[in-house]
Amino acid sequence: MCERAARLCRAGAHRLLREPPQQGRALGGLLRWVGARMGEPREPLAPAVPADPGPASPRGGTAVILDIFRRADKNDDGKLSLEEFQLFFADGVLSEKELEDLFHTIDSDNTNHVDTKELCDYFVDHMGDYEDVLASLETLNHSVLKAMGYTKKVYEGGSNVDQFVTRFLLKETANQIQSLLSSVESAVEAIEEQTSQLRQNHSKPSHGVAQTWYGSPTRASAPNHKLMAVEQGKGLPSATEDAKEEGLEAQISRLAELIGRLESKALWFDLQQRLSDEDGTNMHLQLVRQEMAVCPEQLSEFLDSLRPYLRGTAGARSCFHITAVRLSDGFTFVIYEFWETEEAWKRHLQSPVCKAFRHVKVDTLSQPEALSRISVPAVWCTVGRD
Tell me: the pLDDT tens digits for 118-129?
888 888 888 888
Could you tell me if 81 and 112 are in contact, meaning their C-beta atoms sit under 8 angstroms apart? yes
Q: Which residues of the chain have pLDDT under 70?
A: 1-60, 196-282, 378-386
What whole-number distance in Å separates Cα of residue 226 and Cα of residue 219? 14
Task: From residue 86, give the alpha-carbon distance in Å to each of 109, 211, 263, 283.
Answer: 19, 32, 26, 30
Residue 361 placed within a domain: yes
Q: pTM for the complete prediction? A: 0.40
User: According to the model, what pLDDT value does residue 251 have?
Assistant: 56
User: According to the model, what pLDDT value does residue 309 have?
Assistant: 92
Tell me: the pLDDT tens digits for 42-87?
555 555 555 555 555 566 677 777 777 777 777 777 788 888 888 8
Residue 235 per-residue DSSP state: S
Q: Which of 289, 264, 255, 283 is nearest to 376 (CA)?
A: 283
User: According to the model, what pLDDT value does residue 221 have?
Assistant: 35
Residue 39 placed within a domain: no
- Domain of residue 302, CATH code: 3.30.70.100
Question: Which pairs with CB-CB distance under 8 Å and at least 24 residues apart come from 138-146?
Answer: 138/60, 138/61, 138/63, 138/64, 144/173
User: According to the model, what pLDDT value does residue 25 have?
Assistant: 54
Residue 216 per-residue DSSP state: S
Residue 2 placed within a domain: no
User: According to the model, what pLDDT value does residue 133 have?
Assistant: 85
Pairing of strands 319-326, 370-377: unpaired
3-state secondary structure of 7: helix
Number of domains in the chain: 1
Residue 290 placed within a domain: yes
> Which class for 145: exposed (0-12), middle (13-18), buried (19 or more C-beta within 10 A)?
exposed
What whole-number distance in Å separates Cα of residue 152 and Cα of residue 140? 18
Residue 230 placed within a domain: no
Residue 336 placed within a domain: yes
> Which class for 370: exposed (0-12), middle (13-18), buried (19 or more C-beta within 10 A)?
exposed
What whole-number distance in Å separates Cα of residue 102 and Cα of residue 301? 32
User: According to the model, what pLDDT value does residue 141 have?
Assistant: 83
Residue 115 placed within a domain: no
Residue 229 placed within a domain: no
Domain that holds residue 341: 245-381
